[in-house]
Amino acid sequence: SQQGEEDPQALSIQEGENATMNCSYKTSINNLQWYRQNSGRGLVHLILIRSNEREKHSGRLRVTLDTSKKSSSLLITASRAADTASYFCATDGGGGADGLTFGKGTHLIIQP
């Protein structure tokens, strides 16, 4: 069953603009992760945020986590054409040894 659900399913913006994607999940978590997948490639880890953290930054990426609302957002600032990809949130459902549960992803297109 799907734990995380991304919103929107697709997003198209102009280069240089900021892109925001959201993820909602159902059960309590230890951590939440965001991954990027370029077309035809494997997933690449972007950032991990722990359940006791509210915000985390990595370069042009900013992730927030609101455990009371069971939601997270990924902000990409000053977008570039190379940011065109699908973005997935992944949660652990409160477990540990089990694999992650991925959402269906947000497909981001950066228009030059």
Partner 1 sequence: NAGVTQTPKFQVLKTGQSMTLQCAQDMNHEYMSWYRQDPGMGLRLIHYSVGAGITDQGEVPNGYNVSRSTTEDFPLRLLSAAPSQTSVYFCASSDGWPSYNEQFFGPGTRLTVL
Q: Which residues bind partner 1 (CB under 8 A)?
A: 1-2, 29-31, 33, 35, 40-45, 48, 88, 92, 95-105
- 8-state DSSP, 2: -
3-state secondary structure of 93: coil
**Is the peptide bond prior to 8 cis by the omega test (within 30 degrees of 0)?**
yes
Strand partners, 111: 14
Could you tell me the smallest distance in angstroms from the CB atom of residue 70 to partner 1?
A: 16
Give whichever of 59 and 96 is closer to partner 1, judged by the CB atom: 96
Give whichever of 3 and 71 is closer to partner 1, judged by the CB atom: 3
Give whichever of 8 and 16 is closer to partner 1, judged by the CB atom: 8
3-state secondary structure of 28: coil
